[in-house]
Amino acid sequence: MPITYQTEDTDLPRIRQRETNIWIKEVAHIHRKKTGEIAFIFCSDKKILEINNQYLQHDYYTDIITFDYSEKDIISGDIFISLDTVKSNSEKFNTHYNEELHRVIIHGILHLCGLKDKSPEEEKKMREKENEALQLIL
């Protein structure tokens, strides 16, 4: 099943798609999942705010919104990523843009694998899994 990279009102970021696909599949495998159809849609803050308002009734910017269509052990979904927020977060947290982009990409995959980040404990676990995953690609 394909992993696709699309854009809406922005340019496609410079990522090595083939390498990223292998990485995503490896991380899914670690979590005992297989990849199905996964679409990454890179967009602007304006677009992600629109999606947040329309589908989640949230009136704020975010770096990522994940729509999960997974079934059993096959992860599938649409993952919207605001490149504007990724850029501002990389500056805010003093990290390289590429590292922040990969962190957000894998964050969406981890959500599809079943990880949550609503409570402090869940958020801590999510960060640990993000860091472990980043070690495999960066």
Domain of 106, in residue numbers = 3-135
pLDDT band at 111 (very low <50, low <70, confident <90, very high): very high
CATH number of the domain residue 131 falls in = 3.40.390.30
**Where do the DSSP E strands lie in 9-132?**
34-43, 64-68, 74-82
What lies within 8 Å, CB to CB, of 58 at 6+ separation is 52
The sign of the dihedral angle between the CA atoms of 77, 81, 86, 88 is negative
Task: Give the Cβ contact number of residue 80 at 10 Å.
Answer: 23
Residue 138 has pLDDT above 70, yes or no: no
pTM for this structure? 0.95
Residue 60: per-residue pLDDT: 84
Question: What is the torsional sign of CA 93, 23, 65, 80?
Answer: positive
pLDDT in tens, 48-94: 999 999 988 888 889 999 999 999 999 999 999 999 999 999 999 99
Residue 8 CB coordination number (10 Å): 14
- Domain count along the chain: 1
